[in-house]
């Protein structure tokens, strides 16, 4: 049976990761400077090839951990890219994933090792191959998911201010939100825990810190709660 496959064409299967982060002001993307041909010295997504002993999700997690040193984060398979000439080196199909990480948690030494750099989405450079299309697709998916699910909290530290939360949603949705309406909307969902602690860096009076209540959200979701920002 296996011998019957010998006459079939062989292609490489790559996995590319679009890694998003948030620095309290802007939505950012993590890119690496490619150190081999083709397109050596140009900016690229972090990627690699599927190994025989792993599935696609495992490959994506391996690639993410190799670059950032972290795992167990929100990651979603995005799309497959199969244009015949997408990689000039060899016939390669790529499956793209996007991941949401807390910038404060990544391993800075690994970032430097791969000559990686965080870029604001609006200032990101041109990328190799079809990676620009992957990023555009990922941003579109992220905006949709964020408007329907509280996945945006994955980009925040465990404790955050309302201002940080609003800036995050403005960065993802690429639009200015009315402060009062946004706060009222979030408070009406009743999925945050308001802490006694304050962030004193923003003003003399400080701003109260909040936490996302995962347990309460899951209970409300089970009863049909509809998350909409």
| One domain, residues 86 and 171 | no
What is the count of structural domains for the chain? 2
| One domain, residues 133 and 88 | yes
- Report if residue 229 sits inside a domain: no
pLDDT at 191: 96
| One domain, residues 9 and 121 | yes
| One domain, residues 90 and 164 | no
| One domain, residues 101 and 163 | no
Could you tell me if residue 208 is left (phi over 0), alpha (psi between -120 and 50 degrees) or otherwise beta?
beta
Q: Spell out the residues 6+ positions from residue 153 whose beta carbon is closer than 8 angstroms to its own.
A: 212
- Report if residue 143 sits inside a domain: yes
With a threshold of 0.75, does the pTM exceed it? yes
C-alpha R_g of the chain: 20
| One domain, residues 99 and 176 | no
Confidence of residue 2 (pLDDT cuts 50, 70, 90): low
- How confident is the model over 91-134, as pLDDT tens digits? 999 999 999 999 988 888 888 888 899 999 999 999 999 999 99
Q: What is the mean pLDDT of residues 12-31?
A: 96
| Boundaries of domain holding 181 | 156-222
The CATH number for 73's domain is 3.90.79.10
Q: Round to whole Å and give the CA distance between 81 and 174.
A: 26
Q: What is the mean pLDDT of residues 154-175?
A: 95
Q: Is the pLDDT of residue 3 over 80?
A: no
| One domain, residues 139 and 164 | no
pLDDT at 204: 76
- Report if residue 43 sits inside a domain: yes
Domain boundary, last residue among 122, 148, 174:
148
Domain boundary, last residue among 148, 167, 194:
148
- How confident is the model over 37-86, as pLDDT tens digits? 999 999 999 999 999 999 999 999 999 999 999 988 999 999 999 999 99
- How confident is the model over 202-228, as pLDDT tens digits? 777 889 999 999 999 999 999 998 898
pLDDT at 203: 73
pLDDT at 13: 97
Say which range, 74-78, 154-158, 187-191, 222-226, has the weakest mean pLDDT.
222-226
The CATH number for 164's domain is 1.10.10.10
Q: Is the pLDDT of residue 187 over 60?
A: yes
Instruction: Calculate the alpha carbon distances from 194 to 123, 154, 205, 208 in Å.
Output: 34, 18, 16, 7
| One domain, residues 39 and 114 | yes
Q: Is the pLDDT of residue 4 over 90?
A: no
Please choose, from the candidates 24, 28, 45, the residue with its C-alpha nearest in 3D space to the C-alpha of residue 168.
Answer: 24
Domain boundary, last residue among 94, 125, 148:
148
| One domain, residues 173 and 217 | yes
| One domain, residues 132 and 32 | yes
pLDDT at 1: 54
| One domain, residues 133 and 185 | no
């Amino acid at each position: 049976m296996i011998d019957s496959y010998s006459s079939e064409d062989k292609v490489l299967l790559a996995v590319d990761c679009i890694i998003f982060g948030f620095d309290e002001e802007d939505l950012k993307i993590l890119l690496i400077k490619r150190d081999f041909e083709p397109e050596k010295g140009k900016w690229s997504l972090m990627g690699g090839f599927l190994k025989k002993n792993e599935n696609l999700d495992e490959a994506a997690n391996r690639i993410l951990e190799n670059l950032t040193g972290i795992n167990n984060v929100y990651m979603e398979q995005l799309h497959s890219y199969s244009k015949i000439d997408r990689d000039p080196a060899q016939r390669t199909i790529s499956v793209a994933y996007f991941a949401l990480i807390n910038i404060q948690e990544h391993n800075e030494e690994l970032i430097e090792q791969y000559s990686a750099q965080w870029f604001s989405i609006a200032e990101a450079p041109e990328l190799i191959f079809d990676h620009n299309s992957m990023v555009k697709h990922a941003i579109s998916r992220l905006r949709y998911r964020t408007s329907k699910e509280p996945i945006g909290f994955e980009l925040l530290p465990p404790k955050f201010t309302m201002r940080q939360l609003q800036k995050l949603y403005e960065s993802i949705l690429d639009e200015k939100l009315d402060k009062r309406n946004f706060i009222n909307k979030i408070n009406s969902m009743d999925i945050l825990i308001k802490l006694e602690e304050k962030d004193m860096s923003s003003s003399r009076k400080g701003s109260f810190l909040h936490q996302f209540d995962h347990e309460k959200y899951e209970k409300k979701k089970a009863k049909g709660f509809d998350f909409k920002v």
